[in-house]
Amino acid sequence: MITDADLAPLLACPRCDRTPLTRKADAWHCGACRVDFPVLDGMPCLFATPGATLGEWRGRLHAELRRLQQDAKRLDSALADTALGALTRRRLEHRRDASRAHHDQLRDLLEPLLGGHPAAGAETYLALRTRPALDQGLTTYYANAHRDWCWGDEENRLSVELIERIVAAHSRPRRMLVLGCGAGRLARDLHELFGCEATVALDFNPLLMLIAARMFRGDALSLHEFPIAPRTLEDQAVERTLRAQPARPGLLPVLGDALRPPFAAGSFDTVVTPWLLDILPEAPAATAARINRLLEPEGQWIGFGSLSFSHADPALCLSLEETEAMIETSGFDKPEIIEAEIPYMCSPASRHGRREEVVTFRAARRHDVAQPERHVALPDWLVTGKDPVPMLPHFQMQTLTSRVQLFILSLIDGKRTLADMASTMEAQQLMTRAEAEPALRSFFERLYEESRQERRF
């Protein structure tokens, strides 16, 4: 079984990269930075600014719990209508009860995050520029946990088989890191398959990591799934039991940021990035260089996923060919590649499920490469507040559209029609009446539709 003594040489401080960290009674400690990294449900939380980052996630959890309470209230109001048909009443009651039960289940599961460790102020993570990306919500990949530990056997099995195939002719992983492990199923399955001495499963999302930690221990968990396109009335919300056999010793969950990996150089013979390379908010070559550093000299990088980059900078949205070339210029041999179609997120309760052609690659490390700067989530003008706010092209566009939108919204007085507003816009020389009327209609159509849309889990 892997002990703290085994783990210590792998870990490095995510603030100063120094190693080793020392184990205190209830935390890991960096003597150079004089920072304690707390332990959450047995997991080291190796964020550069642990208090602030956990505080940010705690804030997101509170927002999610509030949303579930509001959802239940909104459903209660709808249920007050005595003219509802019996089936509609049943559906609304089912959804309301599920929202309430799910609220309590999330609160209990995330109790280690809610309790203890007071949140540091926002200024701390501003100062250290490590705020978790806003598009990575607490529940963004929540459905993955149900696939991992309940209904996703086919997808889970095929994913492991692809990685097994690409490793087959090479040495088996002994010390493996799975970066962006989500709820942890692939990390667990690979750890078992290869019989690793140590597998570190890292993600920055505490909801997914608390699920992973429970599954690695062989617990069972009740959680609700809210399918995207429910097949039946009852499928609107389905209570599932997530469960697993206890994992072999040596499988270790770590809360941390892949952009500041808290590990010593050369700690692993294998780094796996499942569905991660294309979602990180940095140049893929910077991620490749960080992975290169974490690997021992003859180590291997295994990538898995659909390689669907969506950076604002089009130069970073690499094709497969560019990804191969980028890997080679990042100190690796030419990667071996398997392309294969697998089912993706096909919940039995949903009509919505995909097939994805995934790319599995394996690249052997050949030499060191220069390391990128430490990742910075926010620019100085936001952090220090002392530099002028730059007029970025996006801000310029936003300013113009907001001005027009604000003007249009100011025309709402409960009396004016669309035609009246179009005349006002013509009088203000913003648009001709003929142009303004359809433009106003589509603007209000969108707002109206947004006001009627339900936010789904």
Ligand X SMILES: C[S@@+](CC[C@H](N)C(=O)[O-])C[C@H]1O[C@@H](n2cnc3c(N)ncnc32)[C@H](O)[C@@H]1O
| Closer to ligand X by Cβ: residue 258 or 316 | 258
Listed in sequence order, the residues at least 6 apart from 352 whose beta carbon sits closer than 8 Å to its beta carbon are 227, 228, 229
Residue 180 lies near ligand X (rule: CB under 6 A):
yes
Residue 208 lies near ligand X (rule: CB under 6 A):
yes
The least CB distance from residue 209 to ligand X, in Å, is 9
Residue 204 lies near ligand X (rule: CB under 6 A):
yes
| Closer to ligand X by Cβ: residue 98 or 141 | 141
Site string for ligand X, 384-413 (x = CB under 6 A): ------------------------------
The least CB distance from residue 35 to ligand X, in Å, is 19
Q: Which of 203, 225, 235, 269 binds ligand X (CB under 6 A)?
A: 203
Residue 289 lies near ligand X (rule: CB under 6 A):
no
Residue 301 lies near ligand X (rule: CB under 6 A):
no
Residue 182 lies near ligand X (rule: CB under 6 A):
yes
| Closer to ligand X by Cβ: residue 19 or 205 | 205
Q: Which amino acid is at 148?
A: D
The least CB distance from residue 287 to ligand X, in Å, is 10
| Closer to ligand X by Cβ: residue 91 or 188 | 188
| Closer to ligand X by Cβ: residue 208 or 238 | 208
Residue 194 lies near ligand X (rule: CB under 6 A):
no
Residue 151 lies near ligand X (rule: CB under 6 A):
no
| Closer to ligand X by Cβ: residue 261 or 299 | 261
The least CB distance from residue 162 to ligand X, in Å, is 12
The least CB distance from residue 47 to ligand X, in Å, is 10
In degrees and rounded to multiples of 5, residue 22 shows phi and psi of -110, 150
The least CB distance from residue 431 to ligand X, in Å, is 42
Q: Which of 181, 244, 247, 363 binds ligand X (CB under 6 A)?
A: 181
Listed in sequence order, the residues at least 6 apart from 414 whose beta carbon sits closer than 8 Å to its beta carbon are none
Place of tokens 């109001």: 77
Residues that bind ligand X (rule: CB under 6 A) add up to a total of 19
Q: Which amino acid is at 342?
A: I
- Binding residues for ligand X restricted to 416-455, rule: CB under 6 A: none
The least CB distance from residue 25 to ligand X, in Å, is 27
The least CB distance from residue 60 to ligand X, in Å, is 12
Q: Which of 258, 294, 342, 422 binds ligand X (CB under 6 A)?
A: 258
Taking CB under 6 A as the binding criterion, the range among 105-113, 269-277, 289-297, 388-396 that sits at the site for ligand X is 269-277
- Binding residues for ligand X restricted to 91-110, rule: CB under 6 A: none
The least CB distance from residue 448 to ligand X, in Å, is 33
Residue 142 lies near ligand X (rule: CB under 6 A):
no
Q: Which of 47, 141, 151, 268 binds ligand X (CB under 6 A)?
A: 141
Q: Which of 53, 99, 130, 144 binds ligand X (CB under 6 A)?
A: 144
Residue 257 lies near ligand X (rule: CB under 6 A):
yes
HEC sequence for the chain:
CCCHHHHHHHECCCCCCCCCCEECCCEEEECCCCEEEEEECCEEEECCCHHHHHHHHHHHHHHHHHHHHHHHHHHHHHHCCCCCCHHHHHHHHHHHHHHHHHHHHHHHHCHHHHCCCCCCCHHHHHHHCCCCCCCCCCCCCHHHHHHHHHHCHHHHHHHHHHHHHHHCCCCCCCEEEEECCCCCHHHHHHHHHHCCCEEEEEECCHHHHHHHHHHHCCCEEEEEECCCCECCCHHHCEEEEEECCCCCCCEEEEEECCCCCCECCCCEEEEEEECCCCCCCCCHHHHHHHHHHHEEEEEEEEEEECCCCCCCCHHHCCCHHHHHHHHHCCCECCCEEEEEEEEECCCCCECCCEEEEEEEEEEEECCCCCCCCCCCCCCHHHHCCCCCCCCCHHHHHHHHHHHHHHHHHHCCCCCCCHHHHHHHHHHCCCCCHHHHHHHHHHHHHHHHHHHHCCCCC
Q: In whole angstroms, what is the distance from residue 3 CA to residue 450 CA?
A: 52
Contact 21, 29 (CB under 8 A): yes
Contact 189, 89 (CB under 8 A): no
Residue nearest ligand X, Cβ-based: 182
Residue 263 lies near ligand X (rule: CB under 6 A):
no
Provide the token pair at 111. Answer: 């109790």
Taking CB under 6 A as the binding criterion, the range among 99-107, 180-188, 330-338, 351-359 that sits at the site for ligand X is 180-188
Binding site for ligand X (CB under 6 A): 136, 141, 144, 180-182, 186, 203-205, 208, 257-259, 274-276, 279-280
